[in-house]
Structure 1
């Protein structure tokens, strides 16, 4: 069995595989029980948007041979208006992060169901930090408060909740990982 490889996204095929994994784990496509036990992703990106984001700063992948088994999206603040549900988060971050600090948004993280509990979540974040910590002070993300599995996993890596807000009956926790 070959080890999982961590790398930056570099092909259209990889971006299409991200999209497929995203759809398989979307909150709209899984049961309430699965959401609670396994976690979920909220935003669905088009392949075109994934490609634009990747051109600015390549996404982080976990691959088993040629198959994308996990991803952590990289979103620069220039994409703040591209996904409507994230605009509120960016506006809040503007008031939370000191002007002299730089940050990148972890746009979404997901591991294929068949590859969970193997350290891939941590591996994605370890590689993310290794690749981007020299260009940014902070990594910021937001997690739905009801997504307990994701909240616990992010806290275990080093994220701290710095703010929360409610939108469309969902409480969102803005979480920051300080790389300085």
Structure 2
């Protein structure tokens, strides 16, 4: 398993994985195991790679099997849900500081192919991305649709993210979570699996 910063040649692999688990294209029977709500174009992923250095991937035998997207609020501002979150940032505090577009970034979406779930890959790719972004931002912020119970459990129980707010958008209820990027994730030792 190889964790790396994505380059332009990885976009097709990311889009293939994304389509399998995006809310508009996911198989109905897979929804209960988590889904991604945001859609992306090739052009948006190109910007994410070139301007933000914010697309982190895991490859197994040259196939993208997981990704994490992380970027500045300026990158995400074009999407209405992120614009809403940006407006609320000054009302939120985490790790002893009031949040802003300067001291926090938007983490996610994250996606792990179901064949690799439970292997420790989520924890490994999260920590890999966190470490890369920590040099730029002290706080990671994300949101999870409250009906996405698998993602909520993974992010709070496995990764240690903390709920800092709740908000409604487009008739959905979301939980907003944060993480102190200076804190490495304590990865479990799993013989025969990822770290």
TM superposition score normalised by structure 2: 0.83
Unaligned runs of 5+ in 2: 183-195
1:23 maps to which of 19, 23, 26: 19
Residue 43 of structure 1 pairs with residue 44 of structure 2: no
Aligned match of 1:177? 179
Count of residue pairs brought into register by the alignment: 175
Q: Residue 134 and residue 116 in structure 1: after superposition, are their counterparts in 2 closer, same or farther (change >3 A)? A: same
Residue by residue over 1:90-132, the C-alpha shift from the partner in whole angstroms, topping out at 9 and shown as x without a partner, is 2222432526761121131001122222111111111012222
Which residue does the alignment assign to 2:49? 54
Is the Cα–Cα contact under 8 Å of residues 19 and 26 in structure 2 kept in the other structure? no
- Cα shift at 1:133: 1.5
Instruction: Determine the structure 1 residue equivalent to 2:159.
Output: 157
CA distance in 2, matches of 1:157, 1:149: 13
Match of 2:123 in 1: 122
Is the CA contact 1:80–1:90 (under 8 Å) kept in the aligned structure 2?
no
Q: Which runs of 4+ in 1 moved over 4 A?
A: none
Deviations 1:72-99 (A, max 9, x none): 0012111232222322122222432526
CA contact (8 A) 2:163 2:176 kept: yes
Structure 1 residue runs of 5 or longer lacking an equivalent are none
Of 91-100 and 139-148, more deviation after overlay is shown by: 91-100
Q: Check 1:88–1:14 CA distance in 2 against 1; reply closer, same or farther (3 A cut).
A: same
Partner SS state of residue 177, structure 1: strand
Distance (Å, rounded) in 1 between the aligned partners of 2:89 and 2:15: 26
What's the RMSD between the two structures over aligned residues? 1.8
After TM superposition, the structure 1 stretch with the greater mean CA deviation from structure 2, 45-54 or 128-137, is: 128-137
